[in-house]
Amino acid sequence: MFLGCGFRQAFDIILVLQFVALLISYALAGSEAYAQVIGVNYFYVIPVFVWVLTLAIVFALHLVQPVVSILTFFKGSLLLGTVIVTFYVGAEVHREIKNDFSAVGAPFLMGTVALGGVINTMPLMYSKISPVKNQVKNFRFAVNAGLMTCTILNVLWCWAVLDIVPQLSIHPCSTSSSKNNTYSSSAICISNISLESAAAQGEISTIPLSRVIEEKYPTFTWVAFLVNIFIMVSITVSYLTVGAVLHHTLHGWLTSFWRVKEDSLYNRSKSKQPYCNIQCVCSSVVSLTVFGIVFGIAMLDPKGFVDMLEKFSSFTLNIEAGVFVFLMLLSARKKENLMHKIPVPLPGAFRFLLFTVPLYFCFAVVYDVYVTVAAIIHEQSHKEHFVIATQGALNVTHPTVLYSGAGHTNTQTTEGPINVFNSSFTNFSNVF
């Protein structure tokens, strides 16, 4: 309504790409959560997780929607309980937390994903209320209260996880086994259970959290189980919700492009309507194809959960909020659109705040592109340096092998790491 031709189609494409990226993230994270409970490699859980939920969305959505409503309430209750008990365990462990504000960019992009997701959820919730003054005011209050509550719970959740799980793989060792653990800077421990290693493996933070609790704090094993149950329910609900929206969006596209007679759409009696016509079949096929793309990407990049959520999902959400939603807001302020009756119009003072929307989200888009390009350049540079270093090492070691084979004695002084490589390369060459 508030977007012109061209912008409307671009908005639809961005929306579908956004849903696909979110579903890929949920497929990876959900498979990890279920695999953690079952005790198998999450790579083998991805097909079951994706296709069971996909078939439910495409062919049994009318049965899924009531279940999702119940699971959403259960999810909210679990979230509150999980944060409380995890924060309690974190207070008991009280691991030293080190701050690094140079890494603030990643949480910033994650935060924009949460804010952008609200934009896509609000239309669905708004359709369930009447456009009257009191209900609209209550709706706005509920949205703001929900954002504030989630912000507080997320901060407490992150705090609790940092109190329990080591941030880095190399960290100070605990010098006491009591409840009030102390850490010595002189004793260094190397652990493969850390947030750093989880990020490198593309794992969600609950996996190292559960491992630390189960291995080092067995009295709180029930907390690890509660966390895993919460993540399973949460991601399942999220996948079903976003998947249902994607399915409805694709169905809407096909409906708008489908050329049929007007009387066959509106004047056909219910008794003559087939249960599923060719349009229904095409809608199901298109949805299954898009969900198949989600499955394929998830299988090809099973460790890309963080990158998919932090980069691509954030990019599409920020484009939607910073460009298209802002254009809708500007278009709504035009004279021809001011004729529409608005139950609770924004006060005049808030109208200037509309320009903070593109500033915030477009800055996130620019920063996202910058981080992605910088990461690609860094990776290519690292590969080039590795090739150069390898060639240099080969040039140093090759004469050593020749002298050894000719029976000559040659003493050479080199750096420590090169000596290790020389001996390994010599042994490897002698095999051939």
The Cα 77–Cα 34 span in angstroms is 20
What is the distance between the alpha carbons of residues 189 and 174, in angstroms, rounded to a whole number?
9
- 79 and 120 assigned to the same domain: yes
Selected residue with higher pLDDT from 195 and 179: 195
**Contact, 143 vs 118, CB < 8 A?**
yes
Residue 265 — pLDDT band, cuts 50, 70, 90?
Answer: very low
Domain extent for 416: 361-432
| Burial bucket for residue 299 (CB in 10 Å: 0-12, 13-18, 19+) | middle
Do 93 and 181 form a contact (C-beta atoms < 8 A)? yes
Residues 99 and 46 occupy one common structural domain: yes
Q: Please name the residue ranges forming H helices in 165-220.
A: 195-201, 206-216
**Domain presence at residue 273:** no
| 237 & 134 share domain | yes
* Domain assignment present for 422: yes
Examine the domain organization and report whether 223 and 90 are in the same domain. Answer: yes
- Domain annotation covers residue 172: yes
In this predicted structure, what is the pLDDT of residue 327?
A: 84
Same domain for 421 and 378 = yes
pLDDT score for 262? 46
Same domain, 234 and 314: yes
> CB within 8 A of 371, min separation 6: which ones?
105, 109, 311
What's the pLDDT band for 53 if we cut at 50, 70, 90? very high
Identify the domain boundary among 318, 345, 372.
Answer: 345
351-384, pLDDT tens digit by residue?
777 888 888 888 888 888 888 888 788 777 766 6
Instruction: Find the mean pLDDT for residues 171-183.
Output: 52
Q: How many domains does the chain have?
A: 2
Q: Which of 32-41, 95-104, 412-421 has the highest mean pLDDT?
A: 32-41
* 231 has a pLDDT exceeding 90: no
SS3 for 273? coil
Over residues 269-275, the mean pLDDT reads 47
Q: Average pLDDT for residues 60-83, to the nearest whole number?
A: 80
Of the three residues 314, 345, 376, the one that is the final residue of a domain is 345
Residue 123, amino acid: P
Mean pLDDT across 96-110: 79
Q: Could you tell me if 169 and 57 lie in one domain?
A: yes
In this predicted structure, which of 244-258, 365-379, 410-424 has the lowest mean pLDDT? 410-424
pTM tops 0.85, yes or no: no
Same-domain pairing of 311 and 221: yes
302 and 373 inside one domain: no
